[in-house]
Amino acid sequence: MAKKPIKITEVVLRDAHQSLLATRMTMDEMRPILPAIDEVGYYSAECWGGATFDACIRFLDEDPWERLRILRKEMPNTKLQMLFRGQNMLGYRHYADDAVEYFVQKSVANGIDILRIFDALNDPRNLETAIKASIKEGAHVQGCISYTLSPVHNNEYFANYAKTLEEMGANSICIKDMAGLLTPYSTEELVHSLKETVSIPIDIHSHYTSGLASMSILKGIEAGADIVDTAISPLALGTSHMATESLVAALQGTDYDTGLDLKKLNVVREYFNGLREKYLASGQISPKMLGVDANTLLYQVPGGMLSNLLGQLKEAGKEDKLEDVLKEIPNVRKDSGYPPLVTPTSQIVGTQAVLNVLMNSPYKMVSKEFKGLVRGDYGKTPAPISDEFAEKILKGEERITCRPADLLEPEMDKLKKEAEKYAIQEEDALTYAMFPQVAPKFFEKRAQKLAGVDGDHVDMANKSHPV
């Protein structure tokens, strides 16, 4: 066969630490190693979006926009990639189209090259605005398949969805396997199916949770995948991803050779090894997160969702009910149209399963978010929700059948006005838009830091931040 070097997307600066240590890696911890990462020759570095934005302002006292500008400055030769939740942007509700367009514009202006855009329900209507805006800004659009298993999810379903994304303007397709559900042979079949249907590159993103990712990725590569997501080894495995160096070594001397240098990767590895030791010593990484949990294959529960469920049960003093909740999740998924379990549907389905178990009666108490899922606030579910079940949950409320964002009035002018008193840069209006409760506290702390200091705020933001 003709040579087909595999491209590598390094996820250590975003998904690896989001998976293993709740997104707590600081800019000060990243910055010293960025030039070395830039030298490796990765296809891209996933370094922004997902939960990083929330964690920056809520826990790290860092400006996420400043983080992006530093990443751009320190890694001039590497494409910077972000994870973007379609109409949800990086928040937890749907935003009006003008806010989504403005966010995409500012992300690209500050350094993002590739936007990986997904929707929790795989509803293409929720990706329309983000895709159009990314194309307008000249960015690479990576359309995402939120991978899951159910009676309605099969290769034909995923291939049709990928074709829709390609027709909408996606430049590549990502199989986003957030719970580690891909098995080696299902990956091979899925990649074959996608390659027959679309003509754009295929990226495999699979978490190591179930212990299958490296086998699945190898079969996916043999089936024609073009790009693979990996994490440098000290922050790999467990709920994170397969190790970068292992894949590079496995493909050396083959037609798929990545061309990456293990000596250059070792410089990056040694640095993150020091951080790993620090995180283990401080308890930021739980040894539990580093193991294999094959239970995910039974319940399809991503690692982050599992710790969330355990937290909810602990609070209620019902930790012993975890097994019951895990058994209830498939029932709730079936009733609500088989949504993939990824933010925000994982939280919605999980919380409802907890309520069903604690109340000892299904749907005796219904969360506001679950009601919204059934009503259609989040978009169209993969399988239709029965009228009988919808009536039970909604009690006569009308269901939404249009694109949810069509019901939203433009909101950016209003948000800019509300954020005016805090803003020192245009991007602050977007920070405020996504986290209106948390952002003001962050802005106040930032103002205190800047008080009485001469010079540009950018210089100040580059100085160390207390964690």
pLDDT (tens digit per residue) in 228-271: 999 999 999 999 999 999 999 999 999 999 999 999 999 999 99
Comparing CA positions, the residue from 21, 15, 67 lying closest to residue 442 is: 67
C-alpha–C-alpha distance, residues 17 and 175, integer Å = 20
Comparing CA positions, the residue from 441, 12, 458 lying closest to residue 229 is: 12
- pLDDT value of position 287: 82
- pLDDT value of position 314: 86
What does the pLDDT look like over 47-84, one tens digit per residue?
Answer: 999 999 999 999 999 999 999 999 999 999 999 999 99
C-alpha–C-alpha distance, residues 80 and 48, integer Å = 8
Comparing CA positions, the residue from 266, 265, 228 lying closest to residue 4 is: 228
- pLDDT value of position 342: 87
In the chain the first and final C-alpha atoms are separated, in Å, by 51
DSSP for 7-40, written as a single string: EEEE-IIIIIHHHHHTT---HHHHGGGHHHHHHH
What does the pLDDT look like over 340-383, one tens digit per residue?
Answer: 998 889 989 999 999 999 999 999 999 999 999 999 999 999 99
C-alpha–C-alpha distance, residues 452 and 447, integer Å = 10
C-alpha–C-alpha distance, residues 289 and 296, integer Å = 13
What does the pLDDT look like over 368-422, one tens digit per residue?
Answer: 999 999 999 999 999 999 999 999 999 999 999 999 999 999 999 999 999 999 9
Q: pLDDT confidence of 456, banded at 50, 70, 90?
A: very low
Asked whether residue 459 carries a pLDDT value surpassing 60, the answer given is no
- pLDDT value of position 297: 86
- pLDDT value of position 457: 44
**Residue 142 belongs to what H/E stretch?**
strand 140-146
Q: Are 279 and 292 in contact (CB under 8 A)?
A: no
CB neighbour list of residue 253: distance below 8 Å, 6 or more residues apart: none
- Per-chain mean pLDDT for the chain: 93
Asked whether residue 307 carries a pLDDT value surpassing 80, the answer given is no
**Mean pLDDT in residue range 112-120:** 97
Question: What is the CATH architecture assignment of 301-401?
Answer: Orthogonal Bundle (1.10)
Residue 451's φ and ψ, nearest 5 degrees, are -60, 125
What does the pLDDT look like over 1-38, one tens digit per residue?
Answer: 788 999 999 999 999 999 999 899 999 999 999 999 99
**What is the per-residue burial (b if ≥16 Cβ within 10 Å, else e) of 334-355?**
ebbbbbbbbbbbbbbbbbbbbb
E-strand stretches of 220-302? 227-230
Q: Are 118 and 85 in contact (CB under 8 A)?
A: yes
Q: pLDDT confidence of 303, banded at 50, 70, 90?
A: low
pTM: 0.93
Q: Computed from CA positions of residues 11, 15, 21, 22, in that sequence, does the dihedral angle turn out positive or negative?
A: positive
Domains 7-282 and 301-401 share a fold: no
- pLDDT value of position 260: 98
Q: What angle do CA 227, 3, 216 make, to 5 degrees?
A: 40
CB neighbour list of residue 380: distance below 8 Å, 6 or more residues apart: 121, 123, 125
- pLDDT value of position 2: 80
**Mean pLDDT in residue range 116-142:** 98
Omega of the bond leading into 344 within 30 degrees of 0 (cis):
yes
Q: Are 47 and 82 in contact (CB under 8 A)?
A: yes
What does the pLDDT look like over 161-210, one tens digit per residue?
Answer: 999 999 999 999 999 999 899 999 999 999 999 999 999 999 999 999 99
Domain topology for 7-282: TIM Barrel (3.20.20)
Comparing CA positions, the residue from 8, 27, 38, 26 lying closest to residue 268 is: 38
Q: Is 172 helix (H, G, I), strand (E, B) or coil?
A: strand
Domains of the chain: which residue ranges? Answer: 7-282, 301-401, 407-462
- pLDDT value of position 463: 32
- pLDDT value of position 304: 66
Asked whether residue 461 carries a pLDDT value surpassing 80, the answer given is no
Q: Which amino acid is at 139?
A: A
- pLDDT value of position 453: 60
Residue 237's φ and ψ, nearest 5 degrees, are 65, -175
